[in-house]
Each structure stands twice: as structure tokens, then as C-alpha cells.
Amino acid sequence: MVFNYDLNGGSYEILDVNDLKVSFNLVQFPGAKLTIHTEQGGDRALLVAIGISYVYEGMRKEDRRYFACQISNCWHLRDGVEVEFQAPERKDIPEIELGDRGLSWEVG
């Protein structure tokens, strides 16, 4: 899946990618590539997530025990050109006293 997010306007597009089926019988995976056309204007975050699932009798197994997913790539694009991600300006958050409501964290 490809997620293309407009960092200024908040609009986004999600592009589903057809499944790539790979057999366990292969000695070596020959590789694959995919060309994706996305909106490039303005400040954008482009994420590529890869999911792996088990196929049994021609159907994808819908059991979460047989599924994995990871963000494989993430880019910050400005008018189609990759730019460095910048950490947002840090703002001090006022502390709020909640009292004893459970387990306490030890910070540091």
C-alpha cells in the first residue's frame, strides 16, 4: 500500500497495490519492481507499507497470526523533490497533576 499525505492541507490518497505472490518453492526470488504515479505538488509525506500474508488453497489467510506489515520507505517531498524531514518545534507541555490512579512511571 502507498499512502500519499498532503502535509499542509491534510488531504491524502491511498493506493492499493495488487498482491505479489511468491512461492516457497523458489530457490531465489528474482526481484520485482513497481511504478507508482502519485500527486507530487506541495509538501507531501509518501509512505510505502509492505504486508506479508499466507495463502492457503488459493485464498489469503485472514488470521492475524499469519500476517505481518511494516513501513518499508518514507519520504518527505516538496513539489516532487525529496527533502530532509525536520523535527517539529518543541513546545513545553504544562504538567497536570492526576493524583494516584495506578502504577507510577520512573523517568530517566
Q: 3-state SS of 63-108?
A: CHHHEEEEEEEEEEEECCEEECCCCCCCCCCCCCCCCCCCCCCCCC
- Count the domains in the chain: 1
Domain membership of residue 72 (yes or no) is yes
Domain membership of residue 93 (yes or no) is no
Residues forming a β-bridge with 68: 52
Place of cell 498482491: 19
Which domain covers residue 61, as residue numbers?
2-19+41-82
pLDDT of residue 61: 76
Domain membership of residue 30 (yes or no) is no
Domain membership of residue 55 (yes or no) is yes
pLDDT of residue 104: 67
Which residue in 47, 48, 46, 44 sits closest to 79, CA to CA?
44
Domain membership of residue 92 (yes or no) is no
Tens digit of pLDDT for each residue in 61-106? Answer: 777 787 888 999 999 999 999 999 877 777 777 777 766 677 767 7
Tens digit of pLDDT for each residue in 6-32? Answer: 998 889 999 888 888 888 888 888 888
Domain membership of residue 69 (yes or no) is yes
Domain membership of residue 47 (yes or no) is yes
CB atoms within 10 A of CB 77: 19
pLDDT of residue 34: 83
What values do phi and psi take at 51, rounded to 5?
-115, 140
Domain membership of residue 77 (yes or no) is yes
